[in-house]
Structure 1
Amino acid sequence: MEEGVDTCMLKEYLEKNYGYNEPIFLNEIRLEGLSDNALRQYFKRMLKSGDLARFDTGIYYLPKVPRLLKKSYLDPMKVIIRKYIQSTTETYGYFAGATFANQIGLTTQMPATLEIVTSKESTEGRTVTVGSQAVRLKRPVTTITSENAGLLQFLDAVFHAEKYSELSNSDTGILLKNYAKQRNYSKELLSSVLSGITGSAAIKLIEWGIIYEFTS
Structure 2
Amino acid sequence: MLKEYLEKNYGFNEPIFINEIRLDGFNDNALRHYFKRMLKSGDLARFDTGIYYLPKASRLLKKSYLDPMKVIVRKYIQSTTETYGYFAGATFANQIGLTTQMPATLEIVTSKESTKGRTVTVGSQTVRLKRPATNITSENVGLLQFLDAVSQGEKYSELSDSETGILLKNYAKQQNYSKELLSSVLSGITGPTAKKLIEWGIIYEFTL
* TM-score class, shorter: over 0.9
Structure 2 partner of 1:147 = 139
> Structure 1 stretches (4+) deviating beyond 4 angstroms?
none
Structure 1 partner of 2:200 = 208
Structure 2 residue ranges without an equivalent (≥5): none
Give aligned pairs, total: 208
1:166 aligns with 2:158: yes
Q: What is the SS of the residue equivalent to 1:19?
A: coil
TM-score relative to the length of structure 2? 0.99
Residue among 70, 93, 100 paired with 2:92: 100
Q: Distance in 1 between matches of 2:25 and 2:173?
A: 51
1:123 aligns with 2:115: yes
Residue among 34, 50, 55 paired with 1:63: 55
What amino acid is aligned across from residue 136 of structure 1 in structure 2? R
What amino acid is aligned across from residue 98 of structure 2 in structure 1? L
Residue among 7, 12, 16 paired with 2:4: 12
Residue among 165, 170, 173 paired with 1:178: 170
Structure 1 residue ranges without an equivalent (≥5): 1-8
Structure 2 partner of 1:86 = 78
Let me know the Cα RMSD of the aligned residues: 0.7
Q: What is the SS of the residue equivalent to 1:155?
A: helix
Structure 2 partner of 1:77 = 69
Q: Distance in 2 between matches of 1:43 and 1:34?
A: 11
TM-score relative to the length of structure 1? 0.95
1:22 aligns with 2:14: yes
Q: What is the SS of the residue equivalent to 1:44?
A: helix
Q: Distance in 1 between matches of 2:68 and 2:155?
A: 28
Residue-by-residue CA offset, 1:8-56 (whole Å, 9 max, x unaligned): x211111111111000000000111211110111110111111111000
Q: Distance in 2 between matches of 1:24 and 1:181?
A: 38
Measure how far apart 1:199 and its partner are: 0.7
Q: What is the SS of the residue equivalent to 1:124?
A: coil
Q: What is the SS of the residue equivalent to 2:86?
A: strand
Residue-by-residue CA offset, 1:64-117 (whole Å, 9 max, x unaligned): 111101210000000000000000001001111111111111011111110001
Structure 2 partner of 1:44 = 36
Q: Distance in 2 between matches of 1:142 and 1:189?
A: 13
Indicate the percent of aligned positions where both proteins have the same amino acid.
88
Deviation larger for 131-140 or 170-179: 170-179
